[in-house]
Amino acid sequence: MSGCSAGQAEEKRCFALAERLQKLIAAAGLCSRRTAEEWIAAGRVRVNGVTATVGQSADMKKDEICVDGVPIVPSERRLYLMLNKPRGYVTTLSDERGRLTAAELVADCGARVYPVGRLDLESEGLLLFTNDGAWAQRILHPSHEVEKTYEVTVAGEVENAAARLAALRSLDGEPIDPARVRMLRKGKETAELSITIHEGKNRQIRRMCAAVGLHVKRLRRVREHTLSLGALPEGSWRELTADEVRAFEEEK
């Protein structure tokens, strides 16, 4: 690679700084790594004016990398956060009605990040934020069927509530896939259920409960794919580990 011919030590240093092209393109927010590989194979990527090859590496500080003739620039550091959203916060970056936003709770993370999916005003629990658009799209795309588990406190006719919810196959005339439902605790008129879905239709859990005559008193998301809320305090956030981020990228 150019600039790395002044001795063995310099070659080693330059090699350490180089990264695979598909990783650099994805890190710039243009697409996923897999799509970047397809662009390279199609001849759409050039490094220092030369058509790149699959498996090639480059150094963003030294090399000019162009996609379709347009140079890519390093993006800000990619952040992946998990927030324990409290009740009473809307999942938007700003709210014209002046309501509290979940974005305010992660404003001190050092970058502008966006929510991945939604939790409605009265719902709480695990909510992801990132500035990596390709990663967020992978999670949100229906084809990946990312599972989400909720702990739901309900009131009403709780006898056989889990079985009734698991038997639902449509909501307002729209077909839905079966949910996995477990009874965690049951009283005379209230119960706590664990409900796992992967479709994420608008207010799906609340609509499912209403369809079988149950009123939701509390709804809390506790798991998304392999990621669990754990003991993260309400209103607090933490960065995901590299392994946690990678788990969302793995094929099912």
Which residues are marked as active site? Answer: 120
The residue to which tokens 């965690």 are assigned: 184
Interstrand relation of 124-130 and 45-47 (parallel, antiparallel or unpaired): unpaired
- What phi, psi does 26 have (nearest 5°)? -65, -40
Cβ-defined contacts of 91-99 (< 8 Å, 24+): 91/115, 91/117, 91/118, 91/119, 91/120, 91/127
Q: Which residue intervals of the chain are DSSP H helices?
A: 8-17, 21-27, 33-41, 102-105, 133-140, 161-166, 204-211, 242-247
Distances in Å between the alpha carbon of 141 and those of 19, 82, 148, 207, 211?
28, 19, 14, 22, 26
Rounded CA-CA distance 129/132 in Å is 9
- Cβ–Cβ under 8 Å, residues 205 and 195: yes
